[in-house]
Chains A and B, each alone.
Chain A
Amino acid sequence: MSVVVVYLLLLKATVTSFAGMGSLPQVRQDFVDTHHLVTADELSEAVLIGRATPGPMGAYVVAVGYQAAGVRGAIAGWLALITPAFLALPLLVTVQRWLHLPRVRSLVDAVVIAGATMLVPAAALLAFDGATQLLRLLR
């Protein structure tokens, strides 16, 4: 499989998700089910490595790229990981330009409030996972 195709498949997954692990369903569909580039076990291993490693959760795509196409696949995975981040720049410039308008300010405020609200269950899940793992180790 061409490394360009690996990059495009991973990019398709990262650019259509809005959270680190949000790309996982698309990666599973493309890499495991459709193109058989990695096995389900290899994908689980990649996710596990991603979770056990500090840094962005979505960086597990680097391991997926490596499993699919070796070192060049890992580079493709890294590029697919960072490419969508640059979409933030036109968004930032646009928002900054119109931020003085009350409606735009209200919109941004609402996004911040809703985003912060969703952090609470995310923290609860993290704490639950951490506590569960810790209890399992102590038993």
Chain B
Amino acid sequence: MAVLGRRGLLGGALGLLTLSACDVDDLRPPEDETLPTPSGSASATAEPDADTRLAEDAAYEIAAALVVVDSVRRAFPGLRGRVQPLARMHRAHLEVLEPPDDRSVPAPPRDGTRAEALGRVRTAEQTLQDALTAAAVEARSGALARLLASMSASVAQHRAVLG
């Protein structure tokens, strides 16, 4: 038996989510969905306030990274090809987790050399990956944790390609 073939089974159990942007309530499984129940202190049933704040904070971090990427993309057109995939990723993630309206992201510096600009992007992406990972660990909802972990993995992939 190929255990790897079980992918569909697990995906089916957890892939029942059809999300619309922003509302963390949507990340909670339907009441009739049987999610595994962790035995630790957190439960698979979300605690709305805590997870809503967590999702908003994560979206803010994504938006902050996107601002850095967009700033570098505009200031250094020669880097556009390298950073464009990052911008696409962040926008895709923000379609799922919309940032709160009441928190603006500070504008990053636009001066410096091309190498310094790339360094800012690398730092922003590392910061984002760390934040997404920490949020995934902290999330009360298993579904939200999985989403944030997946976003973290996407950032890890894009960082590896960026070099």
Same complex origin of A and B: no
B residues bordering A, Cβ < 8 Å? none
A residues engaging B (CB < 8 A)? Answer: none
